[in-house]
Structure 1
Amino acid sequence: MYGWIWRHLPGPAPVKIVEAVVLVLMVVALLLFVVFPWLEPLLPFNDVTTV
């Protein structure tokens, strides 16, 4: 999969590196700001019981 992405990025190798870093940062931002906040209420981490 990474090879497919690398082959389809335009430009020479230095430009591809910058584009790949930007893509990774966009995925991380999407996860942090959209996916994880949506998923957090569904996780059982706040259901703490003490005995």
Structure 2
Amino acid sequence: MMSTWIWRRLPGNVWIKSLIVAIAFAALVAVLFEWVFPWLEPYLPLQDQTVEGG
């Protein structure tokens, strides 16, 4: 429902709308990897190992 509302309000034809959506998605991924994930990483137990070596 929300994606339909956004799609109808984007300017241009299907190709232009698709390009806008692709650029917006790439920008979202870039923001997540550049700022959100590094800020969140200290709070996640990603370095905790459950398998003992040796």
TM-score (norm. length: structure 2) = 0.77
Q: What 5-or-longer segments of structure 1 have no aligned partner?
A: none
Larger Rg over CA atoms: 2
TM superposition shift of 1:8: 1.5
1:10-32 Cα offsets, whole Å, 9 max, x none, are 11111101001001101111111
Tell me the distance in 2 between the aligned counterparts of 1:7 and 1:42.
Answer: 39
Instruction: Give the RMSD, CA atoms, in angstroms.
Output: 1.4
Which residue does 1:37 correspond to in 2?
38
Percent of pairs with identical residues: 46
Kindly provide the amino acid, as one letter, of the partner of residue 42 in structure 1.
Y
Question: How big is the shift at 1:7?
Answer: 1.1
Structure 1, residues 1-51: CA drift from partner, whole Å, max 9, x if none?
A: 21122111111111101001001101111111111000001111223364x
> Number of residue pairs matched?
50
Matches for 1:1-51 after TM superposition, within 5 Å: 1-48=2-49, 50=52
Separation in structure 2 between the aligned mates of residue 29 and residue 44 of structure 1, nearest angstrom: 23
Using the size of structure 1 for normalisation, the TM-score is: 0.80
